[in-house]
Structure 1
Amino acid sequence: MRVKTGYYKQFDADDQLEFPGEGYAGWCKDDLELDLSRTAIVVMHAWDSGSRDQFPGWYRAVEFLTRANAIAEQELPRLLSASREAGMTVFHVVEPIGDYYKQYPGYKHAVELAGEEDHKIEQISVDESHASLEAFRKANAFPGTHNIDDINAGFARLDIPDSVKPRGNEGVVATSGQLFALCQERGINHLIYTGFALNACLLLNPGGMHDMKRHGLLCSVVPEAVTAVENKETARGEEAKQLSLWSVSLFFGFVYALEDLVSALSESKLGDGHAND
């Protein structure tokens, strides 16, 4: 399948300019081949985070939740529907809190494939000074002492929204090892990420781009199907998201506009078999 593919052309700097980097060609788009049998859509950390009325402290500290909820209801279902109809593999990366994801057959299969894993990372010893600094960060940097109870209550009833719940035997994973095992089993070497948030969990958490790139996979993104952690200075224009898209293009993979990808998937003819059945 050929699809319009976005990438950032980071050359050539022009030393005749005051700022040589302004000579870069910048964002480009070309029709490139996308092998659906080797590619999977990843839905990562799409949470049912309740409402602002239920957990006001969570929404005060994590401002992207409102955007994430809208994407999960409006954009992700369109992409997932087109992907499933085209026979494309779909994986789900969950936050391993509670047991809301453990009943899915795709999770049980991933655990069987990956085998026993040591989830604990060896920790440095913590002294009183370290603990004091961490406590200060939680109280004064993020998320704020008055928000913690609401955040804990929200995570205590964490679930996957109905709009993006796994179907059939779609892979469900909680670790990078489980995701890699599924990729090996199904011959997947290119992951196209969706979910929340691009410059946090999708890059750094288990099952995210950083770990999967270390396994040799291309890691791409659909900009309309992600959001990012923004700050006071970037929130209005979602500038942190824009910078993160550039980072993905430069270091991990490609950028596929939602309309381009859905259109190409709708026209594709992978075959009668569905990869997730």
Structure 2
Amino acid sequence: MKMKVKTGYYKQYDADDQLEYPGEGYIGWCKDELELNLSRTAVVVMHAWDFGSPEQFPGWHRAVEFIPRANAIVELELPRLLSACREAGMTVFHVVEPLGDYYIDYPGYKHAVELAGEEDPRAEQISVDQTHTSLQAFRKAHAFPGDHNTEDINAGFARLDIPESVKPLSDEGVVTTSGQLFALCKDRGINHLIYTGFAINACLLMNPGGMLDMRRHGLLCSVVPEAVTAVENKETARGEEAKKLAIWNVSLTFGFVYALEDLVSAINQSKPGG
């Protein structure tokens, strides 16, 4: 099923060498109505976690400042998008963290494992020495997440689960690896993934099932800005500047940008009687 939807993209041209900063000559953000083939497109919900409360895991909430934003998206934005997709018969995939057993009984996960076959998802590791080990330990203690937060984070991950509002339904695909996601895409004829989840400048780019791996397989990888958040730092948190740059990076490197209202409206209109 094909439809037209307002599609955001960034015109990264033409730099103006007459300006002090030539890049300020770029045209910048634009939006056009472009075709979207719903039968070849899937919405991906990636790493939507139940973070628990600040009282349960204070260290996790201290180290991961985007948790309140993620929780709001899970409760307010993602259910609207998923409802529209499901009612229109659009494919939905879930990329989960392979910790514990909270995901293994989903039919969509068992199907993904059958399709992908035997995998060794862990990349071959380089040999390490004492200096390497010490530097890694220093990073964890002094850069992120801080020694005093580690116990709470480990406790949170030990009871990891998917929030009720975005749990997979029926046979929706559930994956832990890029191989499983690619196998599902081949099985269902998907060549365009629209990502949601957390965080757009970290897991959604780099983790298994993320954009980097799927782009290597030739898939378009797009994003819904209202359905993602980013890892921010002290200097960017107030204006969510890291998220803005990540959205631009997706447009420039991976795919397109679909505003939530534009996408939901187009999907709803594509349904019979819409």
Q: How does 1:7-18 map to 2 (within 5 A)?
A: 7-18=9-20
- Tell whether the 8 Å contact from 1:36 to 1:270 is kept in structure 2 after alignment: no
**Do structure 1's residue 99 and structure 2's residue 101 form an aligned pair?**
yes
Map of 2:170 onto structure 1? 168
**Residues 1:38 and 1:270: Cα distance change in structure 2 (over 3 Å):** farther
SS at match of 2:226: strand
Question: Are the equivalent residues in 2 in contact too, given 1:190–1:217 (CA < 8 A)?
Answer: yes
Counterpart of 2:77 in structure 1 is 75
Rounded to whole Å, the distance in 2 between the matches of 1:230 and 1:120 is 28
> Residues of 2 paired with 1:145 and 1:64: CA distance?
19
The 5 Å alignment of 1:124-139 reads: 124-139=126-141
Match of 1:237 among 211, 233, 239: 239
**How far off is 1:66 after superposition?**
1.0
- TM-score normalised over the length of structure 2: 0.98
Any idea what the Cα deviations from partners look like across 1:207-262, whole Å, max 9, x if unmatched? 00000000000000000000000000000000000000000000000000000001
What letter matches 2:156 in structure 1? G
| 1:141 aligned residue | 143
Letter aligned with residue 109 of structure 2: Y
Q: Any idea what SS the aligned residue of 1:4 has?
A: strand
TM-score by length of 1: 0.97
Distance 1:126 1:171 in 2: 37
Tell me how far apart the structure 1 counterparts of residues 81 and 99 of structure 2 sit (CA, whole Å).
26
Q: Which amino acid aligns with 2:44?
A: V
Whether contact under 8 Å (1:40, 1:89) holds in the other structure is: yes
Structure-1 residue corresponding to 2:181: 179
> 1:59 deviation in Å?
0.4
- AA at the equivalent of 1:112: E
Which deviates more, 260-269 or 151-160?
Answer: 260-269
2:222 equivalent in structure 1 = 220
Aligned to 1:36: 38
What's 2:6 paired with? 4
SS at match of 1:264: helix
Q: 1:54 maps to what in 2?
A: 56
**Alpha-carbon separation, structure 2, partners of 1:121 and 1:202:** 18
Aligned to 1:85: 87
The equivalent of 2:121 in structure 1 is: 119
- Counterparts of 2:138 and 2:168 in 1: how far apart (Å)? 39
Aligned to 2:159: 157
Matched residue type, 2:190:
I
**Segment drifting more, 118-127 vs 67-76:** 118-127
Question: SS of the counterpart of 1:66?
Answer: helix
Instruction: Note the residue ranges of structure 2 that are not aligned, 5 or more in a row.
Output: none
**Structure 1 alignment gaps of length 5 or more:** 272-277
User: By how many angstroms is 1:269 displaced?
Assistant: 3.1
One-letter amino acid of the counterpart of residue 67, structure 2: L
Percent identity over the alignment is 82
Aligned amino acid, residue 43 of structure 1: V
Which secondary structure does the structure 2 equivalent of 1:34 belong to? strand
Shift of 1:120: 2.5
Q: Any conservation in 2 of the 1:86–1:265 contact (CA below 8 Å)?
A: yes
- Superposed displacement of residue 126, structure 1: 1.3
Structure 1 residue matching 2:185: 3-state secondary structure:
helix
Deviations, residues 46-80 of structure 1 (Å, cap 9, x unaligned): 00110111100000000011110110010000000
Counterpart of 1:275 in structure 2 is none
The SS at the match of 1:126 is: coil
SS at 1:192 equivalent = strand
Deviation of the 1:270 alpha carbon: 7.2
What is the RMSD of the two structures over their aligned residues, measured on CA atoms? 0.9
CA deviation profile, 1:172-213 (whole Å, cap 9, x unmatched): 000000000000011000000000000000000000000000
Cα contact 1:87–1:270 (8 A) shared by 2: no
Q: How many equivalent residue pairs?
A: 271
Equivalent residue of 1:226, what SS?
A: strand
Match for residue 21 of structure 2 among 10, 19, 22: 19
- Give the aligned residue type for 2:46: M
Q: Secondary structure at the match of 2:103?
A: coil
